[in-house]
Structure 1
Amino acid sequence: MEEAILSDKITKIPKSAFSNCKSLKHIQLPKNLKIIEHGAFWYCYSLENIIIPEGVKEISESAFYDCYTLKDVIFPNSLEVIGDYAFQDCKGIKEVNFPKNLKTIGEQAFVDCDSLEKIIIPEGVEEINERAFLLCSSLYEVTIEGSPKIDGHAFGGCYSINEVIIKGSPEIDEYAFENCNIVYINSPQ
């Protein structure tokens, strides 16, 4: 199966519903969707893009884990939680636009997303959990607009980071930017 269009009557994608659908390239998610559960799309190696509909508040643990070819992810403004490991090893993602209502970026949520280059953490984010962006080797610029708690190793091993722009007053734990080559920190405060 390369393509799926889901009925708008569906409100959740259950645990492991599409896991290991290795030839799935495109899926149209239902308009009434509220949650994408644990591992719903893990190991969907061919999935290229995903548009998360408005109304979804949570992308659960490992939802898109190991979707190697996933390039484009569009998040709704309603999204509040990106769970642990949600996009781990999604090596094709270059850019992520986090919604303003986002509160939590889970542990290892984007670990090893090799193509991710630039991120803006919006003002509403309260916590960036441990190793959230660990080993994102192409990540070169991070903007933090609010005052989240940034756990240890959140950006560890992101050796391409050369600029961090801090607009708020984040609480930065030890080792949060360990093994980064930060050249410039811009903090207007």
Structure 2
Amino acid sequence: MATEDDTRFVKWTNAGGETLSTDNPFTFTVKRDTALRAHFEAYAFSEVINGTVYNLDVDAHTAAVSSTNKVHNMFASLVIPQEVRTAGGQLYAVTALNAEAFRGNGKLKSVTIPGSIGEWGAGVFRQCDSLQSVTFGEGLKSIGAEAFPGCSSLASVTIPNGLTRIRKGAFSACTGLQDIELEWDSPDRGTVDADAFAGVPASCRVHIPRGSEDRYGYDRDLKAVWQGLPVVSDRYAVGVASGDTAVGRVTGGGNRMVLYAETTLTADADSGYHFVKWTNADGSLFSVANPHTFVVTGDMSVQAHFAVNNAVYTVKLSAVNGKIMAGDGVHDYDTEIEAVAEADYGYHFVKWVNVAGDSVSGSNPYRFVLTEETELTAVFTKDTDEPLTGFGTLLGVETLSGVYYAEGVLRLANLKGYFISVSTLDGRQVLQFRADSDDERYAAALPAGIYVLNAARGKEERHVGTKFVVK
């Protein structure tokens, strides 16, 4: 056999370039002056190198992975190098994968393809149904047509930022594919031919780089798609830790959290201890709920705090334009507290706020289980400050009577025993009931508008309220 340094004879031609013979040696009779030219070409041949068959081009010093490899089924793990060295010591750059080179290889589980590959034949890894992992080397620009069709065990694949062409049917019928790690910083980074992902399950997720969300149309509705597959941005971190691992542990969080998706943190206290709160990295309160479910909006760090069970805590309640009726004082841990506030005349309750001014509850009484030192303030506002006009003194009523509407409740003062009617300006009645107390609270979802309230008790007493507005 000729070596790679050899060439092979092709033909003889005359001065006009006409072929005279392909025989070598060539025997003929001389009849006149004759000019002959011998033609040679580089000798291409195959060689098995490290168990893989390559077609070697002596002239270009390049190697192509041969189509004959499909009959061998030799490797569970295949790393195709960027260059190979022959038995004669010559180096060849590996630049091509010939058609169906590993078709139907049932043993192959992983393959690495170097960046030197510039040419793909069709169906290189077709129906390699044991193939689970594919790695594309740095510098690789394209994936060939029908490169991996029917590779049913392939569960994930990473598309590097530099790989900018995915040809037709490259991953078609990869029925086990669940994750595509797409490193393109924009969906326009490369070209994807028709049916490149045809037959891939609809549950397969496309993971995009952080910071690229706007370019993929990814937002809080979580409905962005790429090649018909759902897009997720899950490269955000939620760090979670226990303030004291000796008394409690935490679960949840991680380094691959989905932006704008819900996640849950759970704190588990050891015997004799209880969970108190979650705090942010700066020590500010994050939540007192446990488990705590929230929407991820970026990187964050959260710490769980625990305390011993036999502790006592102080509940400090205060009010302006009102007074605290119950709940203030020192209480045992895990006691149910009922915080009650009463408004001064001409005011009504709005909400409870904590020391940071954050709203805690709109309920009064407000019931909660005591797990830490607690300080709350009852917030009141003037009745006349509501976006509603209250009663003045009504005919035949010795005490001052009034009405206001807030948070879906119609509240009546000093109208016990009166029949109440609320109508729109066009006379359409929307409410009718009897007030059973001088501090009547009637749940009513009133749409925005102007209303007239009438109050009556007996034939001799009829009272008409002024108009009030619901905004």
Q: Take 2:142 and 2:117, find their aligned partners in 1: how far apart are those partners?
A: 10
Partner of 1:42, secondary structure, is helix
Give the match's secondary structure for 1:41.
helix
Q: For residue 59 of structure 1, what is the aligned residue in structure 2?
A: 97
Cα distance change of structure 1 residues 33 and 160 upon mapping to structure 2, 3 Å threshold: farther
Q: Which secondary structure does the structure 1 equivalent of 2:206 belong to?
A: strand
Matched, 1:148 2:217: no
Letter in 2 for 1:34: A
Q: Among 47, 51, 63, which residue is 1:34 paired with? A: 63
Quote the Cα distance in structure 2 between the aligned partners of 1:118 and 1:82.
Answer: 21
Q: What letter corresponds to residue 133 of structure 1 in structure 2?
A: F
CA contact (8 A) 1:61 1:84 kept: yes
Q: Does 1:135 align with 2:164?
A: no
Q: Which residue is equivalent to 1:102? A: 140
Structure 1 position 42, deviation (Å): 2.0
Alpha-carbon distance in structure 2 between the residues aligned to 1:34 and 1:177: 34
TM alignment of 1:1-189, pairs within 5 A: 14=46, 27=51, 34-37=63-66, 39-45=67-73, 47-55=75-83, 56-146=94-184, 147-159=189-201, 161-167=203-209, 177=227, 182-186=229-233
**CA–CA separation in structure 2 for the residues paired with 1:79 and 1:108:** 16
Aligned-residue CA RMSD (Å): 3.4
Conserved 8 A contact 2:53-2:69: no
Question: How far is 1:46 from its partner?
Answer: 5.5
* Letter aligned with residue 155 of structure 1: F
In the TM superposition, what is the alpha-carbon distance from 1:45 to its structure 2 partner? 4.3
Residue type of the partner of 2:132? K
For residue 164 of structure 1, what is the amino acid of its counterpart? V
Evaluate the alpha carbon distance shift between residue 67 and residue 160 of structure 1 in structure 2; reply closer, same or farther with a 3 A threshold.
Answer: farther
How far did 1:187 drift? 9.8
1:41-75 alpha-carbon deviations (Å, 9 max, x no partner): 12434543322122222212211111122112233
Name which structure has the greater RCO, CA cutoff 8 Å, separation 6+.
1
Distance 1:69 1:141 in 2: 23
Secondary structure in structure 1 of the residue aligned to 2:68: coil
1:144-177: per-residue Cα shift (whole Å, max 9, x none)?
A: 223221111111111164311234779xxxxx84
- Higher-Rg structure is 2
What's the % identity of the aligned pairs?
A: 25
* Letter of the structure 1 residue corresponding to residue 147 of structure 2: A
Checking the alignment, whether the CA contact within 8 Å between 1:162 and 1:184 is kept in structure 2 is: no
Deviation at 1:129, TM superposition (A): 0.7
Residue ranges of structure 1 left out of the alignment (5+ in a row)? 1-8, 19-25, 171-175
For residue 180 of structure 2, give the secondary structure of its aligned residue in structure 1: strand
1:81 is displaced (CA, Å) by: 3.9
Give the Cα–Cα distance (whole angstroms) in 2 for the partners of residues 63 and 137 of structure 1: 22
SS of the counterpart of 1:53? coil
Q: Is the 8 A contact 1:59 1:82 kept in 2?
A: yes
Cα offset for 1:106? 1.1
Counterpart Cα distance in 1 of 2:160 and 2:51: 27
